[in-house]
Structure 1
Amino acid sequence: MPAEGGALLHSHGLSPTKQHAVVVPWPGQGHINPLLHLSRTLAAQYGFSITFVNLDYTHRLLLKSLHKEALVEQAQPSDPTSVAELDIKFVSVPDGIPVEASCTSNVPELSAGVVYSAPAFERLLTELRPRPTCIIADIFVGHTQDAANKLGIPCVAFWTQSASCFAAHVAAARGLFPSELEEGKLIESIAGAPPLRFKDLPGFLQAYKEPDFMFNFVTKPFTRLEEAHCVLMNSFAAMEGGALETLRQQMTGCRIYTIGPVLPLDFFSGKKLSNNGFNKIPGFWGEDYSCLEWLDAQKECSVLYVSFGSIALLTDEELQEFALGLEATGYPVLWVLRPGILEDGGRVSLPPGFQERTQGRVHIIDWAPQLHVLAHPSVGAFFTHAGWNSTLEGVSQGKPLLGFPYFADQMLNCRCIQDLWGNGLALERHGEGLLTRSIVESKACTVMSDAKLRETALLLRDGARRAIISGEQGSSTSDLHHFVESLSL
């Protein structure tokens, strides 16, 4: 049921023809972000009314940030493009997760919460007024299709990851994983991906021989995509055209629209981001905007930005090697060390003397306004866990990437960064080439200085901009128009 005080942004009356979209993310920061960007675009450019449905657990985490954002918007002069003026309301549904739980990195527990929320979500749909005209749901929230079928509402499947990762999930769901999965053989049949080792596959798919809860959770929705109105994919043709073409040929009963990178329009302008509400996303942790002042004092393209996202965990040994490797580069570093980043839940402890030796050169914060940081001219490269949002954000700003994958799609993204797109390098978490301070130093210096990596990164940036800011000629902008038209039909 809607959480008390859930409607945090202004709401307006609906005309008889106005679309009312119920938007449902999987409960992780990296899944919430693109759907919130999309919701704002649909509300601002197409007049949609949006009901954004979180689990109780994530709603509680986001509530303070949402209130703060709304207050900031209300304190500014009236602006017809203000986020606070959009017809977006936030509600939540029960998830069975204890109030005192701390599970932002516990993917199985969050996914179990998604399953638990199904009956409450269906009740919410029947009570919303005006009646929803469509559901736009993360593919991993599979119960939304059941509710849509029962109530006769079109359900749109939103894919937050890459096209090649989508292809891997389709193959797993259809039982088509190739014979190359035998020990030691490379997998060459995943559309849009370079030859892959077993450990490069999306993490939850690696249980295909002995399916578990998470394998079934992430693959079952792919057996039902033909029931969906369409699939919206957060990618773009210039980056993943081959994979997208193959998918459309293989899935003739499923319309696929590519509308990415799903980010604020200002992010493609080539300028620093303003404090416009469109350029801010409510997060699980407070964003430290003071880091932008530190960036202002650095030289152009001189800073290595380091952030491993909202879920990845590090061992203390990895943290020590990172610290000493980053110190050895000699570059200015903006490093995000969020609360709870260590696997054992312990307190972050940096090497003896590290902070004294790097004072003024290594700036450490809990959480960054990442869009603003990546758009800053002082940032030269991005050291990332290679989640798809972070990958697209770095690509859209032409930043060479250094990937250190943790789970899910990140291993596959790292292989594409290094061996397919050529816009960066990757570190190994397990196996050969284990993480050491010397490897961190060497690869970090390369992504900061290599002219070929930077040239390729800038070409990908230009492809992203053409997809988004070229009016109806842009591939992603055109697909978004066609998607909205399909709902009207």
Structure 2
Amino acid sequence: MEAETTTAPKPLHAVVFPIPLQGHVIPAVNLAIRLATKGFTITFVNTQLIHHQITKSLPNPNTTQNDIDDEVVDIFSGAREAGLDIRYRTVSDGFPLSFNRMLNHDQYLREGHMGVLPIHMDELVRELVESADPTVSVLIADTFFGWQSNIAKKYDLVSVSFWTEPAIVFSLYYHLDLLKVNGHYGAFHDNREDIIDYIPGVKAIEPNDLPSYLQELDVSTIMHGVINNAFEGVKRADMILCNTVHELEFEPISTIQKRQPMYAIGPLISSGSTNSLVPMSIKPVSSCTQWLNSKLPNSVLYISFGSFVLCGKKDIDEIAYGLLLSKVNFIWVLRPNVVSYAEPYVLPNGFEDEIKDRGLIVTWTNQIEVISHYAIGGFLTHCGWNSVLESLWYGIPMLCFPLMTDQLTNRKLLVDDWRNGVNLCDKKPVNRFEVAEKIDHLMCGKSTKELRERTTKVKQMMKNGLTLDGSSEKNLSRFISDVKIKISDRSIM
């Protein structure tokens, strides 16, 4: 009698597609790696522009950057060598690489993000559904792709919306209709200053703590169209993944879960091993380690305002003068396009001579490598969510200088709710004397120890979430189980 043979079930195959911005690509790569370690097959998709930027930023001692043929570079080859089944594809957003998407932002959003890109993504998903082995069964795409649930439905895939910002911001966008009805959105809000206390899962919030797009009077812009489409689309998604920790934001998460399945699986933080597996930086990186090694513990302020949001020139000048007055050691990630996509920013005359060996200015660096160094004692940040999570993960208190979008709400979480940070300036405009005072307060003031102790508590909460019995790990397992049930149910129908 022949022995019975059983065929092992094929792994789940998910397509992962992030918004083509540095702050969205990083958590998406980390999500892909997390899922692949759980047995998923992943096809990760970047736009051709992001792929080009990453490959041109790769360090290669044997070639010049212009010699690198980015068509043959597979950024996930290291992950596959480590045993993870992560495949890689790219799609065109409809514009040549030379097209400046930042200078022509509205055109890019209208013709690319909402026009050509979904068409090209539809074609790629169809190809993968027809030919990939194992069969594609899940589409995980950034929430701001409002069209992703339509593509998933077309090919009978489980639709997963991936939210890369805090749950409180998700809830504010999700309940946009309530802001409209109550006169806190659009031309009807007339700069109202009364407290908003009617958003489910959100404690009373000041209007100036809303994401910047929800504060604008003109809501007829293409960006507001993107937001409206995104949050109509997300309500058709089967599931929502959120890069946060349940214990930090249980109220907005619990409220959304009454409407749709939401899983808090964060923080999706890069580590040294992740960076070695998959390059993610869209800019060439300068190492700061040797310089940091010469500094005392907790003596260096790290400064970065993210990868693309613009700052006012006067604000940057005042911050520079404030640094001079403070006498603190610092590393400043200062992009040439920090104040304009058309013209490079120039520091005040004599600034670099004044700072000498106590200040290091770079155009880009490996942020994890820097803030995990023992010499870093504080982070002057724009409050981008990746920066917030990374800073908390390493127990670094923050000096908050939010610029736009979710950063304004993130500041509220850090300063008012969790008390892991302080405002750079309590009132605008930015003033060099207040900047110097706040830097001293963060780095060596009377309350510095207390601030670090509170940050350490949040750090431990986050780390607990990623243990085997932690909330984020359990939520990821529950998500995978629910995906399998959803696929099984569809195969029966």
The normalised TM-score by structure 2 is 0.85
Q: Which runs of 5+ in 2 are unaligned?
A: 1-6, 64-76, 486-493
1:60 equivalent in structure 2: 52
C-alpha offsets along residues 131-164 of structure 1, whole Å, 9 cap, x if unaligned?
A: 3111111010121211111111111100000111
Whole-Å separation in 1 of the counterparts to 2:33 and 2:334: 29
- 1:244-323 to structure 2, matched below 5 A, reads 244-249=253-258, 251=259, 254-264=260-270, 267=271, 273=272, 277-278=276-277, 281-289=279-287, 291-323=288-320
Q: Give the superposition deviation at 1:68.
A: 5.9
State the superposition RMSD in angstroms: 2.7
- 1:73-472 to structure 2, matched below 5 A, reads 85-103=83-101, 108-112=106-110, 113-115=112-114, 116-128=116-128, 129-130=131-132, 131-173=135-177, 178-179=182-183, 181=189, 183-190=192-199, 195-207=204-216, 210-249=219-258, 251=259, 254-264=260-270, 267=271, 273=272, 277-278=276-277, 281-289=279-287, 291-343=288-340, 345-427=342-424, 432-449=427-444, 450-468=448-466, 470-471=467-468
Whole-Å separation in 1 of the counterparts to 2:374 and 2:142: 33
C-alpha offsets along residues 193-233 of structure 1, whole Å, 9 cap, x if unaligned?
A: 56433332212223477433211211323234343221001
2:473 equivalent in structure 1: 477
Aligned 8 A contact 1:303 1:333 in 2 = yes
Whole-Å separation in 2 of the counterparts to 1:406 and 1:42: 33
Distance 1:416 1:193, change over 3 A: farther
Aligned 8 A contact 2:265 2:472 in 1 = yes
2:18 equivalent in structure 1: 25
Distance 1:103 1:403, change over 3 A: farther
2:484 equivalent in structure 1: 488
Q: Give the superposition deviation at 1:103.
A: 2.8
Distance 1:412 1:276, change over 3 A: closer
Distance 1:320 1:67, change over 3 A: closer
Whole-Å separation in 1 of the counterparts to 2:266 and 2:320: 34
Whole-Å separation in 1 of the counterparts to 2:425 and 2:102: 24
What is the identity, as a one-letter code, of the residue corresponding to 1:118?
P
Whole-Å separation in 1 of the counterparts to 2:82 and 2:113: 28
Whole-Å separation in 1 of the counterparts to 2:148 and 2:59: 27
Whole-Å separation in 2 of the counterparts to 1:344 and 1:225: 31
Aligned 8 A contact 1:20 1:134 in 2 = yes
Aligned 8 A contact 1:235 1:258 in 2 = yes
Whole-Å separation in 2 of the counterparts to 1:407 and 1:19: 37
Deviates more, 1:366-375 or 1:194-203: 194-203
Whole-Å separation in 1 of the counterparts to 2:273 and 2:348: 37
Aligned 8 A contact 1:54 1:92 in 2 = yes
C-alpha offsets along residues 60-111 of structure 1, whole Å, 9 cap, x if unaligned?
A: 2123346969x9xxxxxxx997766432233222212233123358654553
What is the identity, as a one-letter code, of the residue corresponding to 1:260?
G
Whole-Å separation in 2 of the counterparts to 1:209 and 1:463: 40
Distance 1:15 1:317, change over 3 A: farther
Whole-Å separation in 1 of the counterparts to 2:143 and 2:337: 28
Whole-Å separation in 2 of the counterparts to 1:84 and 1:369: 22
C-alpha offsets along residues 1-50 of structure 1, whole Å, 9 cap, x if unaligned?
A: xxxxxxxxxxxxx985112111111111101110001111211x222222
1:10 equivalent in structure 2: none
Identical aligned pairs, as a percentage? 31
Whole-Å separation in 2 of the counterparts to 1:262 and 1:344: 29
2:66 equivalent in structure 1: none
Distance 1:276 1:344, change over 3 A: closer
Distance 1:322 1:463, change over 3 A: same
Q: Give the superposition deviation at 1:170.
A: 0.8
Aligned pairs, how many? 451
1:3 equivalent in structure 2: none
Whole-Å separation in 1 of the counterparts to 2:154 and 2:275: 40
Whole-Å separation in 2 of the counterparts to 1:311 and 1:441: 25
1:6 equivalent in structure 2: none
Whole-Å separation in 2 of the counterparts to 1:22 and 1:459: 36
Aligned 8 A contact 2:102 2:341 in 1 = no
Q: Give the superposition deviation at 1:372.
A: 1.2
Whole-Å separation in 1 of the counterparts to 2:275 and 2:282: 20
Aligned 8 A contact 1:398 1:457 in 2 = yes
Whole-Å separation in 2 of the counterparts to 1:94 and 1:385: 30
Distance 1:274 1:441, change over 3 A: farther
Higher-Rg member (1/2)? 2
Aligned 8 A contact 2:425 2:434 in 1 = no
Q: Give the superposition deviation at 1:179.
A: 4.3
Whole-Å separation in 2 of the counterparts to 1:109 and 1:160: 24
Deviates more, 1:87-96 or 1:170-179: 170-179
Whole-Å separation in 1 of the counterparts to 2:268 and 2:332: 25
Secondary structure at 2:438 match in 1: helix
Whole-Å separation in 1 of the counterparts to 2:294 and 2:253: 42
Whole-Å separation in 2 of the counterparts to 1:275 and 1:214: 32
Deviates more, 1:436-445 or 1:458-467: 436-445
Whole-Å separation in 2 of the counterparts to 1:208 and 1:424: 29
Aligned 8 A contact 1:105 1:311 in 2 = no
Aligned 8 A contact 1:303 1:331 in 2 = yes
C-alpha offsets along residues 157-188 of structure 1, whole Å, 9 cap, x if unaligned?
A: 00000111011101115665534655221223
Distance 1:349 1:213, change over 3 A: closer
Aligned 8 A contact 1:338 1:367 in 2 = yes
Whole-Å separation in 2 of the counterparts to 1:351 and 1:90: 44
